Each structure stands twice: as structure tokens, then as C-alpha cells.
Structure 1
Amino acid sequence: MEPTIILSILGGVIVLLLIVGAPIRPVRWIGQGLIKIMIGALLLFFLNAFGTMIDLHVPINLATSSVSGFFGIPGVVALIIIQTYIL
């Protein structure tokens, strides 16, 4: 799809939500989930930055960011164990 079409659709959805009003609770859950995924990606970035010293690399994608974001440090440790011993 063209970027202009995507941006116009997003703009239309935003205007529609501003006019009609969005239900607060689902929007809050989505926002909190996205923030947790971003925090998970940041944790994995630091893991990869400091893990190069011990030859450790966990790929940063939606699945690994979600695991590390929602489960925190235990999730990162689980990803390290999976990466080291299973893959």
C-alpha cells in the first residue's frame, strides 16, 4: 500500500475517535501493552549490547520483546536459556 493511503486512513481513524470518543479501558490496555513491548525491546537491546562480551545474542522481534516486556527479568533469563541450550 502507498504510505499516503495508510496515513490518511490513520488520520481518519484518529479524527473519528476524537469525534465519537474512544472507550477508555481498551485504549489504556493497548497503550500499556505497547509500552511493555517497547521496554522489552530496550531490555533486549541492552542484553545484546553487553552480551557481545560473552558471545550472547537474542534477536529483537515482536515475540521476544513481548516475552521480555511482559515477564521482565525472568522472561529475559528464559530467553537466554532458550537461546543458549535449545537453539
Structure 2
Amino acid sequence: MGNFIYLVIAILTLVLVVKLLAWPMKVLLRLLINGILGYVLLLLVNVFGKSIGVYIPTNALSCLIAGIFGVPGVLFLIIFNKFF
């Protein structure tokens, strides 16, 4: 009987640890997807934006903004580039 209680406690602890670790993995996966999408959009804007005079330099700050915020970040960079 004592071993059964320890087994149940171990299983519940394992489930709790897996649930706690799953949340940061979702956040990291979302940041990774946003980063890749933002960088690809930044490159596309630079390739196709040359004809209309839009060029966003690919530096650490612009990659960070595009990576964290994704599409809205790239739109912010385009608007910021046009007005400033």
C-alpha cells in the first residue's frame, strides 16, 4: 500500500512538472516563429521595397523588433522609416 501512494505522488509530480515546463516551451516556440516570420518579412520588404524607396537596414535593432513583434513590428519599421 505504501508503494502505491509513492507511485501516485510521483506520477502527479511528473504531470505537474511537465505542465509547468510546457508553458515556457509554447512561449519560446511562438517567439521563434515570430522571429523567423519577422526576419523573412524584413528581407521581403528590402527586396521588393527598393522600387518604391523603402529600405530597412538589417541590423540588430530592426531584427529584434521584427523578431519579437512579427508583422506589426515590420509595419512599424516601415512607417518609422517613411516618416523619420
- Is the TM-score greater than 0.5? yes
Give 1:47-58 correspondences, 5 Å limit. 47-58=45-56
Computed over aligned residues only, the root mean square deviation of the Cα atoms, in angstroms, reads 2.4
Any stretches of 5+ residues in structure 1 without a counterpart? 1-20
Q: Call closer, same or farther: CA 1:46–1:81 in 2, change over 3 Å.
A: same
* Conserved 8 A contact 2:35-2:70: no
Scaled by the length of structure 1, what TM-score is found? 0.58
Q: Could you tell which deviates more after superposition, 54-63 or 76-85?
A: 54-63
**Normalised by the size of structure 2, how large is the TM-score?**
0.59
Structure 1 Cα separation of the partners of residues 81 and 70 of structure 2: 17
**Which has the larger helix fraction?**
2
Q: 1:83 aligns with which of 52, 73, 81?
A: 81
Paired residue for 1:40?
38
Which has the higher relative contact order, 1 or 2, with Cα contacts under 8 A spaced 6 or more apart? 2
Contact 1:58 1:83 (C-alpha < 8 Å) held by counterparts: yes
Question: Which structure 2 segments of 5+ residues have no match?
Answer: 1-17
Distance in 1 (CA, whole Å) between partners of 2:46 and 2:39 is 10
Higher CA-based Rg: 2
